[in-house]
Amino acid sequence: SQELEQSPQSLIVQEGKNLTINCTSSKTLYGLYWYKQKYGEGLIFLMMLQKGGEEKSHEKITAKLDEKKQQSSLHITASQPSHAGIYLCGAVHSTSYGKLTFGQGTILTVHP
Amino acid sequence: NAGVTQTPKFRILKIGQSMTLQCTQDMNHNYMYWYRQDPGMGLKLIYYSVGAGITDKGEVPNGYNVSRSTTEDFPLRLELAAPSQTSVYFCASSYGALRANYGYTFGSGTRLTVV
């Protein structure tokens, strides 16, 4: 089984709808990164969470890390076609070095 | 402000050929990483380096080799290419464990096809 599970694997929404993507870890998270990827391109950093209960926002995207530091959610409010892409969560499971372990990604499609 | 630069962007290899994927960063990051991304999958770590002269295996190192002679460069070598190595390869760098609040910096990727 994966150390980091993302759900759903794909999501199709109508423009203007809200949506949530979840990322669940089998180990304690020392850091949780959210990235966005457009097809054929590199990864764009969205946010990083470290503390239990932490919440960060950037424009219409909000990410939270739960108190037990084993689950994170990414919430998009009033989705737009520009939000479409692949969302990846990446976890740091150790403080000794910064290897990122990734979830399998969530493909988001936003219909105008 | 180049960040992480990967070359080439695309490459087609025949089975059994070898090649080197180049990765250079200009941010003076100590940590560098090579990942591969297969369709419908997240990124899998191939090799990583915590500084010049130091490298270590990730989850999927078989069929690859790396070297880190300078802080800036972290090339990935494929020996005897196989169809299973068809993938998109990403190089990344960071200051270290959890230091970079703006995240790891990724290159734009190399799309490799082995036929």
Q: Which residues of B touch A35 (CB under 8 A)?
A: 103, 106
The neighbour count for residue B51, using CB atoms within 10 Å, is 13
Structure confidence at residue A62 (pLDDT): 97
Q: Sign of torsion, CA A71 A72 A75 A80?
A: negative
Q: Beta strand A106-111 with A10-14: parallel, antiparallel or unpaired?
A: parallel
Structure confidence at residue B111 (pLDDT): 95
Residue of chain B whose Cα is closest to the Cα of A95? B97
The stretches in chain B having pLDDT less than 50 are 100
Lowest model confidence (mean pLDDT) among A53-67, A82-96, B50-64, B99-113: B99-113
Mean pLDDT in residue range A93-103: 75
Q: Give percent of chain A with pLDDT exceeding 70.
A: 95
Q: Which residues of A touch B98 (CB under 8 A)?
A: 30-31, 50, 92, 95, 98
Instruction: State pLDDT tens for residues B17-28.
Output: 999 999 999 999
Residue A66 pLDDT > 60, yes or no? yes
Rounded distance between C-alpha atoms, residue B38 and residue B54, angstroms:
27
Domain boundaries defined on chain A: 4-60+86-111
Q: Which residues of A touch B40 (CB under 8 A)?
A: 9, 104-105
Rounded distance between C-alpha atoms, residue B5 and residue B106, angstroms:
9
* Beta pairing partners, A7: A22
Residues 6+ apart with CB under 8 A from B62: none
All structural domains of chain B: 10-114 (2.60.40.10)
Q: Give percent of chain A with pLDDT exceeding 90.
A: 63
Residue A2 pLDDT > 80, yes or no? no
Give the tokens for residue B56. Answer: 């270590």
CATH topology of domain A4-60+86-111: Immunoglobulin-like (2.60.40)
Stretch (H or E) spanning B88: strand B87-94
Q: In this complex, which of B35, B98, B108 lies closest to A92 when CB atoms are compared? A: B98
